[in-house]
Structure 1
Amino acid sequence: MQFGARAGQAALEALVQDGCLKARFPRQQDTPGKTGVLINTAGGIADGDILDIAVRVGCGADVVMTSQAAERVYKARNMAVPSRLHTVLGVEKAATLYWLPQETILFDGGAIARRYDADIAQGGRCLMAEMLVFGRVARGEVIEKTSLFDRWRIRLDGRLVFADGFRLSGGAPHTYGTARLKGVKAIATLLFIGPEAAFAKARLRDSMEDAGCHAACSERGGVLIARFAGAEPHTVREAMMAAIALLDEGKDMASPVLSRWIF
């Protein structure tokens, strides 16, 4: 999907939908930004599904993208063939994109490989948040086996400024050592790319002292990276929400989304 700016308002310029992925755009009053809601009509991801999402925000437009509900990665019949999700984000100069989907719940036996590619122009702003929950916590589900791979590539003005890979496979995460998520039921990654990234680091780090879960952040090359992990998903969720609100302060883009759509 492609967004642009018309008469000071963000506007949808192009939308292509196919298969189970749909997008809806709630009517908003008294705001120049645009909110998009992604919907997976299949109700989850399983058995080698291939999903592609591309969002581009043109000069002068402000856009928030979220999801209708938490995504679910169901047990795979063949873990050697993971489902694949590829997300491509583009933000032009003087544009802002907040990528704020609800969390992904990885069921026991789930297999997924996710790729995130973002290209941010100099002078653009992008806030990306992704949260992963291991198992259906309310049911007491324990992950006995899984296959997960996350790959991140962030470019700022065409230059690669962040590359990261995370792989989890084999046995139960709760049996691993401390360096491999022992006792952790949820993890989250928050990336902020923009002129204010270096300034925001100190404020975000101070706020993490009362996060209620493991939390840390760093900044390099115009990219602010924050990580959250905890045994209780709700504490990770609350810490990430607080971080989003802090980074959004003064912009007032995410606040209506936080109250109406996300989490």
Structure 2
Amino acid sequence: MTNLSFVPVQNPATTDSGHRFDTSRHWAASLTLGFSAFTEGDTSITRMNIARHYGPLRVQRPFYPEGRDGCCHVYILHPPGGLVSGDALNIDVSVEEDAHTLVTTPSANKLYRADSNDVAWSQITNLKVANGATLEWLPQESLAFDGSRGQQTFNIDLAENAKCLGWEILCLGRPASNIPFATGQLEQRFQLSRNGQPLWLERQTIDPNHPRFTGKWGQGGSTVHATLWTVGLSDPDQAITALREQLPTANHWAVTYRRGVLLLRYLGDDRNQVWALFQQARDILRPLLTGHQATVPRIWLT
């Protein structure tokens, strides 16, 4: 058994000006998590052995709904509940050899309207998975308010025999309040590499003033954009066939497989629709990826 303490660290940013409200406004927060597999008798158990934080980023204690020798579930907490101008969040997750970890969040991540100086926010997520390890990155959706301005960056670094299943869901505007995403600008960047070799590189800019935002050749006015990725499948053809046969046929989605990366895309207008779609896709993919049925994190049910 490993004793774990949550260690606050010094601000990693070179500029700490949290209480400024001019164009140099900066609120930094970081979270570093590490997971390793430990042997107890004949059983391999995944433990969280690193938990360092700065600012308002925390984790709850690990949960083991799949048994002590099953996947280690962890919930990332961001008490402010969203990102405002000047926020700079950095999340680093490392999963060591033979460990299996699932990381999620208890609620949606809100991306608030930029301040009067139009200062952007940023969120950088670095995921590193070692040989024989598995990481499931399953946050709840990000809700972008009208006027939000910022950048999300995802760096996924996989070893030769690492496995990873993850998703990112972005919802634009506040449909329930009849407030569309009419101003602001968001950028999403994805980089997934295996052994340092890039397999999936993508940059997407979301700008309501660009013709691509409403054009049929672009986003077509869709308010929900989502991507699910899976790497490490032993039989990708079987996985694609299962998805195409079992997922609803009219839910604005498509699946592709290239250079070892399976991508399931959604472009539509319904958060509940994509959430149900991705959960069903995970139900299909997880047994093919890990040999275990999908277990729903209990935080999703509260």
TM over 0.5: yes
Rg (Cα) greater in structure: 2
Matched, 1:249 2:287: yes
Cα distance between partner residues in 1 of 2:159 and 2:126: 14
Moved more, 145-154 or 181-190: 181-190
Which of 42, 63, 81 is the matching residue for 2:80? 42
Cα distance between partner residues in 2 of 1:169 and 1:183: 11
Matched, 1:67 2:99: no
Number of aligned residues: 261
Cα distance between partner residues in 1 of 2:139 and 2:292: 17
Cα distance between partner residues in 2 of 1:173 and 1:50: 29
Which of 12, 36, 46 is the matching residue for 1:10? 46
2:183 corresponds to: 145
1:25 corresponds to: 61
Instruction: Please state how far the C-alpha of 1:196 moved relative to its aligned partner.
Output: 2.8
Larger RCO of the pair (alpha carbons < 8 Å, separation 6+)? 1
Which of 151, 157, 160 is the matching residue for 1:113? 151
Instruction: Please state how far the C-alpha of 1:80 moved relative to its aligned partner.
Output: 4.8
Instruction: Please state how far the C-alpha of 1:144 moved relative to its aligned partner.
Output: 1.2
Summarize the alignment of residues 147-226 of structure 1 with structure 2, pairs less than 5 Å apart: 147-171=185-209, 176-196=214-234, 198-199=236-237, 200-208=239-247, 210-226=248-264
Q: Provide closer, same or farther for how the CA distance between residues 107 and 173 of structure 1 changes in structure 2, counting only shifts above 3 A.
A: farther
Q: Provide closer, same or farther for how the CA distance between residues 75 and 172 of structure 1 changes in structure 2, counting only shifts above 3 A.
A: farther
Q: Provide closer, same or farther for how the CA distance between residues 160 and 28 of structure 1 changes in structure 2, counting only shifts above 3 A.
A: same
Matched, 1:239 2:277: yes
Amino acid at match of 1:201: I
Unaligned runs of 5+ in 1: none
Cα distance between partner residues in 1 of 2:111 and 2:76: 16
- 1:150, 1:167 within 8 Å by CA — same for their partners in 2? yes
- 1:46, 1:74 within 8 Å by CA — same for their partners in 2? yes
- 1:144, 1:172 within 8 Å by CA — same for their partners in 2? no
Cα distance between partner residues in 1 of 2:108 and 2:253: 22
Unaligned runs of 5+ in 2: 1-32
Amino acid at match of 1:5: A
Moved more, 183-192 or 173-182: 173-182
- Deviations, residues 137-160 of structure 1 (Å, cap 9, x unaligned): 222221111211001110012211
Moved more, 98-107 or 198-207: 198-207
2:9 corresponds to: none
1:92 corresponds to: 130
- 1:64, 1:254 within 8 Å by CA — same for their partners in 2? no
Q: Provide closer, same or farther for how the CA distance between residues 173 and 45 of structure 1 changes in structure 2, counting only shifts above 3 A.
A: farther
| Structure 1 length-normalised TM | 0.91
Question: Alignment RMSD, CA only?
Answer: 2.2
- Deviations, residues 29-51 of structure 1 (Å, cap 9, x unaligned): 52422111011111210112100
Cα distance between partner residues in 2 of 1:175 and 1:246: 32
**SS of residue in 2 equivalent to 1:213:** coil
Cα distance between partner residues in 2 of 1:247 and 1:193: 10
**SS of residue in 1 equivalent to 2:185:** strand
Q: Provide closer, same or farther for how the CA distance between residues 101 and 186 of structure 1 changes in structure 2, counting only shifts above 3 A.
A: same
**SS of residue in 2 equivalent to 1:234:** helix
Amino acid at match of 1:11: R
- 2:56, 2:79 within 8 Å by CA — same for their partners in 1? yes
Cα distance between partner residues in 2 of 1:182 and 1:100: 26
